[in-house]
Structures are given as structure tokens and as C-alpha cells.
């Protein structure tokens, strides 16, 4: 009969190796951006003029898409304002406003993007609307 000189690992060694490999996999697995950097904003409008405020503090830079074709540059400011240039028609209008969060102004790609529908009034008397988006 042939005898091997190779020692078989003990059960303890196998369990410790499996635990170490599990930890390596958990630390190397990418985490979704939402879990890393939640993003949110609030908004308020007086007629067609709207103000937006970032309500989370997980990013170093932001970019707004106001839903009417206007997109800002990347900025470190946590607030923005926008005038919706539509005729006064005494109607409510809905647009989807997107906010992108970047780790730094030069990071290239956003860490997270959130979009929510906002409502503004194209009114001569300054009807107010407000809301929030995200966490």
C-alpha cells in the first residue's frame, strides 16, 4: 500500500481558512452606491421660481438637472435655484428634477443619482409648492 507523506489539514485549519476567505470576499465585493452615499433634496417654489437644497451630507459635489433641459455644472454648493420659463397659464406643471452626487468635484462619475417629480405653478400670484426627495 502507498502511504502519502502529505499531512491532511485539521478541521480547525479548514474552518479558519473558510472564515478568512469569506471575510476577503465580503470586503472586496462592491457595495451599491445607494448604501454608500444616500442622496436627497428638498424643494420649494413660488410660482415659477424654485429653490433646491441638498438634505444629505455624503457627497463633496453636486449636479442638478432641472427637467426642462437645463443642467448645471458640477458644484460644491448644496443649494440651487431655477426659473421655469413657461408662460403664465395659472396651471400646475410637473417636471422630474435629478440630483447627482459626486465624492469630489473632479471624481468624474457620480456616486449616486436621485430623481423626483416636483410641481410648480405658472401663476401670476406666486402660488407656493414644496416637497422633498430621498432619505
Q: What percent of the chain has pLDDT over 90?
A: 66
Q: What is the pLDDT of residue 29?
A: 41
Burial-class residue 39 by CB neighbours within 10 Å (0-12, 13-18, 19+): buried
Backbone conformation region of residue 27, classed left if phi is above 0, alpha if psi is from -120 to 50, else beta: alpha
Burial-class residue 89 by CB neighbours within 10 Å (0-12, 13-18, 19+): exposed
Query: pTM surpassing 0.75?
Result: no
- CATH class label, 33-133: mainly beta
pLDDT of 103 over the 70 cut: yes
User: Domain residue spans in the chain?
Assistant: 33-133
pLDDT in tens, 12-66: 555 545 444 343 333 344 344 445 579 999 999 999 999 999 999 999 999 999 9
Amino acid at each position: 500500500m502507498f502511504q502519502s507523506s502529505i499531512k491532511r489539514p485539521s478541521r480547525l485549519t479548514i474552518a479558519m481558512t473558510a472564515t478568512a476567505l469569506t471575510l476577503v470576499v465580503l470586503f472586496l465585493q462592491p457595495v451599491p452606491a445607494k448604501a454608500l452615499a444616500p442622496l436627497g433634496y428638498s424643494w420649494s417654489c413660488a410660482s415659477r421660481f424654485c429653490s433646491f437644497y441638498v438634505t444629505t451630507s455624503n457627497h463633496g459635489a453636486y449636479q442638478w438637472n432641472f427637467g426642462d433641459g437645463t443642467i448645471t455644472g458640477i458644484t460644491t454648493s448644496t443649494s440651487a435655484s431655477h426659473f421655469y420659463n413657461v408662460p403664465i397659464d395659472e396651471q400646475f406643471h410637473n417636471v422630474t428634477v435629478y440630483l447627482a452626487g459626486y465624492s469630489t468635484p473632479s471624481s468624474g462619475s457620480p456616486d449616486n443619482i436621485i430623481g423626483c417629480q416636483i410641481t410648480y405653478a405658472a401663476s401670476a400670484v406666486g402660488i407656493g409648492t414644496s416637497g422633498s426627495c430621498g432619505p
